[in-house]
């Protein structure tokens, strides 16, 4: 009987140690920052963060096309601040990611189009610019994934005796550039299919071919 009690005691102790170790590991990624002794009304202090330091990528451009090894990738960064609930901040930051990449893609299409338009005949420019509006609004966002998240819990001094807390959440996402090209070309093809004259269609195809030269840059 004593043996059995000893074994049970050892098993319970081992389980408690394992639970303590796991909880310790899970807290290592969240850094508690010591509150300052002197605090003035209106000041703000980071009291928790994950990871412990704000990553360098949070200072990158909000929308950027980069080349990684042999492939081009679109990166987008979005922030949600002044949120009382961290989960709400996460959801808002992800929604902001989708909005920002849609806006960035629209600007990218317009930029590539304007560069390609430099050699286009004046008789087509007005019509083509109206087509651009349709295309820019119909390039879908496909394959956007969240790659990085950084958050802070911030203490704001409201008065000598009162403080409040809020969260700041920053997320970074990426999308393969080839996904953008596929969606862009499909949107242009939909426009070409509606063009009524062969001459205008040929000029439009030349324009799109010119735009595609940017894809390999």
pLDDT at 116: 84
Instruction: Identify which of 172, 213, 187 has the alpha carbon closest to the alpha carbon of residue 106.
Output: 187
Give 149-187 pLDDT, tens digit per residue. 999 999 999 887 889 999 999 999 999 999 999 999 999
- Name the pLDDT band for 24 (thresholds 50, 70, 90): very low
Which has the minimum average pLDDT: 20-34, 157-171, 193-207?
20-34
pLDDT at 79: 97
Give 2-18 pLDDT, tens digit per residue. 444 454 454 444 554 54
Burial class (CB in 10 A: 0-12, 13-18, 19+), 89: buried
More reliable by pLDDT, 36 or 72 = 72
Secondary structure element (H or E) that encloses residue 151, with its range: strand 145-157
Burial annotation 32-64 (CB, 10 A radius, 16+ → b, else e): eeeeeeeeeeeeebebbbeeeeeeeeeeeebbe
More reliable by pLDDT, 117 or 96 = 96
Give 56-112 pLDDT, tens digit per residue. 999 999 999 999 988 999 999 999 999 999 999 999 999 999 999 999 999 999 998
Q: Are 81 and 165 in contact (CB under 8 A)?
A: no
Neighbours of 116 (CB within 10 A): 19
What average pLDDT score do residues 40-62 get? 93
Instruction: Identify which of 30, 149, 33, 146 has the alpha carbon closest to the alpha carbon of residue 89.
Output: 149
What average pLDDT score do residues 204-216 get? 85
Instruction: Identify which of 78, 99, 73, 98 has the alpha carbon closest to the alpha carbon of residue 89.
Output: 78
Instruction: Identify which of 54, 87, 48 has the alpha carbon closest to the alpha carbon of residue 172.
Output: 54
Q: Residue 29: is its pLDDT beyond 70?
A: no
pLDDT at 127: 82
pLDDT at 67: 93
Ranges of each domain in the chain: 33-216
- Name the pLDDT band for 22 (thresholds 50, 70, 90): very low
Q: Residue 148: is its pLDDT beyond 90?
A: yes
């Amino acid at each position: 009987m004593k043996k059995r009690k000893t074994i049970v005691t050892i098993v319970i102790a081992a389980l408690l140690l394992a639970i303590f170790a796991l909880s310790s590991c899970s807290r290592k990624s969240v850094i508690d920052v010591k509150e300052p002794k002197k605090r003035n009304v209106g000041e703000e202090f980071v009291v928790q963060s994950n990871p412990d330091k704000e990553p360098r990528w949070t200072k990158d451009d909000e929308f950027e096309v980069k080349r990684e090894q042999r492939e081009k990738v679109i990166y987008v960064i979005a922030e949600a601040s002044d949120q009382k609930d961290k989960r709400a901040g996460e959801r808002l930051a992800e929604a902001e990611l989708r909005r920002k990449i849609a806006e960035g893609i629209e600007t990218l299409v317009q930029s590539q189009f304007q560069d390609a338009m430099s050699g286009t005949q004046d008789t087509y420019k007005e019509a083509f610019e109206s087509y651009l509006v349709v295309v820019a609004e119909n390039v879908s966002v496909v394959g956007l994934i969240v790659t990085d998240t950084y958050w802070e819990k911030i203490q704001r001094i409201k008065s000598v005796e009162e403080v409040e807390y809020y969260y700041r959440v920053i997320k970074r996402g990426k999308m393969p550039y080839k996904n953008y090209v596929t969606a862009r070309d499909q949107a242009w093809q939909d426009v070409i299919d509606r063009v009524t004259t062969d001459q205008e269609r040929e000029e439009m195809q030349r324009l799109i071919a010119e735009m595609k030269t940017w894809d390999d840059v």
